Structure 1
Amino acid sequence: MWREIEPEARHEIEVDGYKVIAYSFGTGSDTVFCLNGGPGLPCDYLREAHSCLVDKGYRVVAFDQLGTGASDRPTDASLWTIGRYVEETETVRKALGLGKVHMLGHSWGGWLAIDYALTYPENLQTLILEDTVADMPHLILELERLRAALGPETVAMMQKHEAQGTYNHPEYLAAVTILNYRHVCRLPDWPAPVRRSLDDWNMGPYETMQGPNEFLYIGNLKDWNRVPDLPRVKAPVLITTGEHDELTPACALRMKLALPNAELKVFANASHMPFYENPHDYYPALIDFLSRHKAS
């Protein structure tokens, strides 16, 4: 079960002339390498949810992606591309001497993990795709379906503000808040690591790559689709999603059907963060998968 643990080591790594900070827990020979969501979020929320895997003998590594947390925060928007983040991830892996890893990508970190897996397949022991997608145009259709549940008048109001670019209007923000509590985290009080990450969100990478909020994708990833490439991923894959996830079970199934060696877990009473919303089902599923595919 998750708990906040002090990292055993804090690493400063140079990436493209910038400083990136990584955190390491445990000394196990199998490493779970965590890629958090965002883009633009510090890794706190995902790091604190998975550092407890040290109890099962794993080493756990997470890092603040460039532009987030304790890492440098340049303002050059040309840096915010998935290809550059793939190379950053590889730089961190090599700098820490991680060898083959169990790569765990959540949300945007899952998109990053997919592109990493297609670029550096030899470095993966397994791939764990949590609350993520491989087909952005399909996700956009799914988000329209979730938004429609708010009712036609509310959807029309949201579309009006999106057309005008008035994303900070109170009525628009109110609709997004409802969607967040339905499809991002269904807990009445969000855990401290989640709040910490959200309170330190760098919107520069987020708006460049995704858009102004979780339910409007207009950034440079809006046409990203790796489903045709997924048959090339040969490593064992675990796909997880919440039954109410913003990145929906239909998106998860689309990945499973395209991958040659994948299993899918849908967690009840959870949305985008099953590790906090339904930990009693989440952790046994994750630990079982990891134990069946240990390198040692």
Structure 2
Amino acid sequence: MKYFLVVLTAAIIASCNQPAAEQSKSVTVQDYFAPHDSGVQSAGIKMIPIETPVGKFNVWTKTIGNNPRIKVLLLHGGPAMTHEYMECFESFFPREGFEMIEYDQLGSYYSDQPTDSSLWTTDRFVEEVEQVRKALGLSKDNLYLLGNSWGGILAMEYALKYQDNLKGLIICNMMASCPDYGKYNLVLQQQMNNTVVDSIMLLQNKGQTSNPRYEALLEGYYNEHLCRIVPNPDPVQRAFKHANMTIYTMMQGPSEFGISGRLANWDIKDRLKEIKVPTLTVGAKFDTMDPDHMKWMSTQVQNGTYLYCPEGSHLAMWDDQKHFYPGVIKFIKDVDGGTFKKGE
């Protein structure tokens, strides 16, 4: 009996001393897929009420899995694209035991789409993310915020105000300055046929961005720098189909060919030093954003590291999965296991 108690005690101590990353592997399939709510099951989908200065609305979320220490909230781009193009994470995060939350921001297809233009500001979106966090019970003990493109802007702004609620921050394919993004777009334009660039700008300046010719002229740029899988994967096509172009144009401009909306002067380069939470920045060789700038960002935050995707574009989670996912997964596991070191 004494021998049994000694062995049992040793096992308990070993379990307690086990690195967090190893403990995460002990999450059973039953635990991971246990229902979040009682009653009628809805595949993890939950409409969350959001308070805004002009009233209450609902936003769409879908939670996949249960993991008390690793919960990744995905912030899609646009603004006003949809979670759909981020469905590719479903092929990678669940098999690692990561809980993941897909989310359509207010104004996007699966959420309410109010028309009051005062709602479409970065500050208002930050408060929305905070309300979603509270509603889903996410905290500094488990919340990894992952934003792509505009979602990267939103993630950075959220961290600047609420980083005490984060365990980790992942900024994918987004620079810390929209003016610098605009300058880099000019670099990419120099690699294009001058006639094509002139035609795009002519139609854009005339406000004829709904002209089928405008879309046709942009096709080559998008196939080179936005998503290099042609034709685009179905979730990407659905996200484009469902985009709220009124909000997108108001904040970004008429296309990914530069920036001219409300975000045109957004710049937080000088504030990156305020971000202390473990941070991963992701850049890609063919991105619409300057990968060298994203690498530089990782050196400006207090605890940053950089992931480069040599075959990727703006949607590197699609066209460079062999580099993107191992890097992102390693970062999350390192932070979870307490082995994260900046610059590695």
TM-score bucket (shorter structure): over 0.9
Aligned counterparts of 1:141 and 1:207: Cα–Cα separation in 2: 19
Once the 2 structures are TM-superposed, how far is the Cα of residue 262 of structure 1 from its aligned partner? 1.2
* Structure 2 partner of 1:252: 294
* Separation in structure 1 between the aligned mates of residue 336 and residue 317 of structure 2, nearest angstrom: 21
Distance 2:45 2:93 in 1: 18
Q: Identify the residue that residue 22 of structure 1 maps to in structure 2.
A: 61
TM-score, with length taken from structure 2? 0.81
2:135 paired with 1:95: yes
- Contact kept in structure 2, 1:77 and 1:204, CA below 8 Å: no
Specify which structure has the bigger relative contact order, considering alpha-carbon pairs within 8 angstroms and separated by 6 or more residues: 1
Match of 2:283 in 1: 241
1:290 Cα shift? 0.7
Contact 1:44-1:193 within 8 A present in 2 as well: yes
Per the TM alignment, residue 248 of structure 1 is displaced from its structure 2 partner at its CA by 2.2
| Shift in Å, 1:107 | 0.6
Instruction: State the 1:295 CA deviation.
Output: 6.7
Displacement of 1:170: 4.1
SS of match in other structure, 1:293: helix
Confirm or deny: 8 A CA contact 1:7 1:25 kept in the other structure: no
**C-alpha distance in 1 between matches for 2:42 and 2:326:** 23
Of 276-285 and 159-168, deviating more is 159-168
2:167 partner SS: strand
Count of residue correspondences: 292
Normalised to the residue count of structure 1, the TM-score between the two structures is 0.93
Letter of the structure 1 residue corresponding to residue 67 of structure 2: G
Separation (CA, whole Å) in 1 of partners of 2:211 and 2:109 = 28
Q: Counterpart of 1:13 in structure 2: which amino acid? A: I
Query: Structure 1: which 5+ runs fail to align?
Result: none
Matches within 5 A, 1:169-248: 169-248=211-290
- Relative to structure 1, the CA distance from residue 7 to residue 248 in structure 2 (aligned partners, 3 Å threshold; closer, same or farther) is farther
Partner of 1:133: 175
Q: Which residue of 1 aligns with 2:84?
A: 44
Deviates more, 1:140-149 or 1:105-114: 140-149
Task: Map Cα deviations across residues 153-210 of structure 1 (whole Å, 9 max, x no partner).
Answer: 3322223222222223344322211110000001122111111111111112101111
Q: Deviations over 1:55-87 (max 9, x none)?
A: 212111121111112211111111111111100
Pick from 158, 164, 188 the counterpart of residue 146 of structure 1. Answer: 188
Q: Offset of 1:7 from its aligned partner? A: 7.7
Q: Tell me by how many angstroms 1:288 deviates.
A: 0.8
Greater gyration radius: 2
- In structure 2, relative to structure 1, the CA distance for the partners of 1:7 and 1:117 (3 Å cut) is farther
1:21-51 deviations in Å (ceiling 9; x for gaps) = 1110110111111111111111111144246
Q: 2: CA distance between counterparts of 1:224 and 1:284?
A: 31
Whichever residue aligns with residue 22 of structure 1, its letter is T
Structure 2: runs of 5+ lacking an equivalent: 1-32, 34-40, 339-344
Contact 1:43 1:69 in 2 (8 A): no
* CA–CA distance in structure 2, aligned partners of residues 267 and 55 of structure 1: 22
Shift of 1:12: 1.3
Q: Residue 165 of structure 1 corresponds to which residue in structure 2?
A: 207
Structure 1 residues 230 and 120: CA distance shift in structure 2, 3 A: same
